[in-house]
Structure 1
Amino acid sequence: METIAILLVVSFAGLAALHLYWALGGKFGMSAALPEIDGAPAFMPGAAATIAVAFVLTGFALIALVLGFGASNAATLTPYSVFLGFAVGGVLVLRAIGEFKYVGFFKRVKGSKFATYDSWLFSPFCLLAGGAFLTLAAGSL
């Protein structure tokens, strides 16, 4: 269980750092990170929204940390972390499935840089990470 937690913590901390980089004006990887409509980004998140996503991703890393290592040290947090672990796992699996148009395994709009990355990297990562969160939460019951 510790190995799963470490992989989740490192992954989500890295994603949070990437979002902070973007919020501060970085451009690397940005062209593949947003869904496109007719070759243009479907939306352009501002710095505040990108920082908010970074905080959420940091929260995911902390939940994985508590589920993987904190059960004996933080008994009062365990019931909440198990619930949050199941919730995060469910949200990530739903993200992998997608909304059936632009995002997820069952998207209809294909052919963009985002769609390619989503099919081969983003959605598989969400499915695996969601399963890992569900595994950690179930193992903490």
Structure 2
Amino acid sequence: MVGWLGFSSLLLFGIGCLHVYWALGGKWGMNVALPTAVSSKQRAFVPGKMATLLVSVLLFGTSLLLLVQGAGLASTHPYPIVRWGCRICVLVFGLRVIGDFKYIGLFKKVRDSRFAKFDSYLFVPLCLWLCLSFYAALRMGG
């Protein structure tokens, strides 16, 4: 089980690196990474460089949390802050799966955009996987 938690941690680290790339001006993948309104073809929001860097730092932190909790990098009794961090990750990734009821998640209304297709077939399953990974790490007790 620890192997797939390591894979999940590596995924989070890679996504964090992708956010650093975007914050530094990279364009690859950006056209499907943000929701767009179908009628206007404009992005629902455009995050700044600092917000994108903050997301990358949070992703690196969640990667580390998953390793510490799931792989037992801490002692046999992990710090309460690690367990709470993992609980917050279960909640955040679970809420991302549900979505905002307009642009993102299982219950989105805008389904015709390019982002919506990627959201349905890639982003939602990925967030569900990560939610379950953090849940499993908590259940393992690390």
TM-score scaled to structure 2, two decimals?
Answer: 0.92
Runs of 4+ residues over 3 Å off in structure 1: 70-75
Asked if structure 1 preserves the Cα contact closer than 8 Å seen for 2:110 and 2:116, the reply is yes
Cα distance in 2 for partners of 1:137, 1:30 equals 33
Cα distance in 2 for partners of 1:118, 1:97 equals 11
1:16 equivalent to 2:43? Answer no
- 1:29-86 per-position Cα deviation (integer Å, ceiling 9, x unaligned): 00000011221111111111100000000011010010122355374x4322122112
Find the residue that maps to 1:20 and give its secondary structure. helix
Query: How many residues align structurally?
Result: 140
Cα distance in 1 for partners of 2:92, 2:21 equals 24
Look up the match of 1:27: 27
Cα distance in 1 for partners of 2:20, 2:76 equals 29
1:120 equivalent to 2:121? Answer yes
Look up the match of 1:96: 97
Q: Which amino acid aligns with 1:18?
A: L
Asked if structure 2 preserves the Cα contact closer than 8 Å seen for 1:36 and 1:114, the reply is yes
Cα distance in 1 for partners of 2:43, 2:94 equals 24
Distance change in 2, residues 1:72/1:16 (3 Å): closer
TM-score scaled to structure 1, two decimals?
Answer: 0.92
**Paired-residue identity, %:** 39
Look up the match of 2:55: 53
1:5 positional shift: 2.1
Cα distance in 2 for partners of 1:45, 1:71 equals 34
Which residue of 57, 63, 66 maps to 1:64? 66
1:136 positional shift: 0.5
